[in-house]
Amino acid sequence: MATDDYTPQLAQGGPSLADLLTITPSVSIFYSYARELQLSAMFADPSRQLTLFAPTNKAVVSLPRKPHEDPKIKEGVITEQEYDTRSKHNIERWVEAHIIPTADLALTPGKTVETMLSGKSITFEKLEQPGNEDWQRVSLEDDVKVIEKKQGSNGILYMIDGTVSPN
């Protein structure tokens, strides 16, 4: 069997969000957290249309508390199983805060959209900088800027220079 006969198969209509996340090294930390969760299957699902705001690696590394860390743990001892459960819950909340369950989304100043995290929304603020695209003229909460946009077959991937807080 010849190994050079292999031809990769792209999702119909181009790369999926999962494909884009895989080939975009600047957001690999976000994707490594997301892959720990069942919800990451949506990133490859052609029947789902999503908008992802993926923080750059630099943004994640600069967080004072990493997405898996629990702010509620005080002095004391918890079991390894409890730690794992809490960590997974924290990661899920953090990833869900970066996902909008639609790809039909205009990034308009003053517009507020609900994320997949229950009770969490993102409001877009107007930026006073030039830009031809709507995503170049808005910021998210805490002055987080969109730095790049990639279109996938099942949604849009925006790279952001900060993170969306799940709180």
pLDDT at 78 (0 to 100)? 79
Structural domain of residue 49, as residue ranges?
12-68+78-160
Residue 3 lies in a domain: no
This prediction has a pTM of 0.86
63: domain CATH number is 2.30.180.10
Predicted confidence band at 73 (pLDDT cuts at 50, 70, 90)? low
Structural domain includes residue 138 = yes
Residue 4's pLDDT is 56
Q: Give the integer Cα–Cα distance in Å for 35 and 95.
A: 10
- Could you report the per-residue pLDDT of 86-127, keeping only the tens digit for each? 889 999 999 999 999 998 888 999 999 999 999 999 999 998
Amino acid at 107: L
- Per-residue three-class SS string for the chain: CCHHHCCCCCCCCCCCHHHHHHHCHHHHHHHHHHHCCHHHHHHHCCCCCEEEEEECHHHHHCCCCCCCCCCCCCCCCCCHHHHHHHHHHHHHHHHHCCEECCCCCCCCCCCEEECCCCCCEEECEECCCCCCCHHHCEEEHHHEEEEEEEEECCEEEEEECCCCCCC
In a domain, 167, yes or no: no
Query: Is 108 inside any structural domain?
Result: yes
Cα 110 to Cα 6, 66, 114: the distances in Å are: 49, 29, 13
34 within domain boundaries: yes
Query: What is the average per-residue pLDDT within 73-84?
Result: 76
Residues 138-163 pLDDT 10s: 999 889 999 999 999 999 999 999 99
pLDDT digits (tens, 9 = 90+) for 17-70: 999 999 999 999 999 999 999 989 999 999 999 999 999 999 999 998 888 887
Return the exposure string of 16-48: e unless at least 16 CB atoms fall within 10 Å of the residue's CB, then b. bbbbbbbebeebbbbbebbeeeeebebbbbeeb
Q: Provide the number of structural domains found in the chain.
A: 1
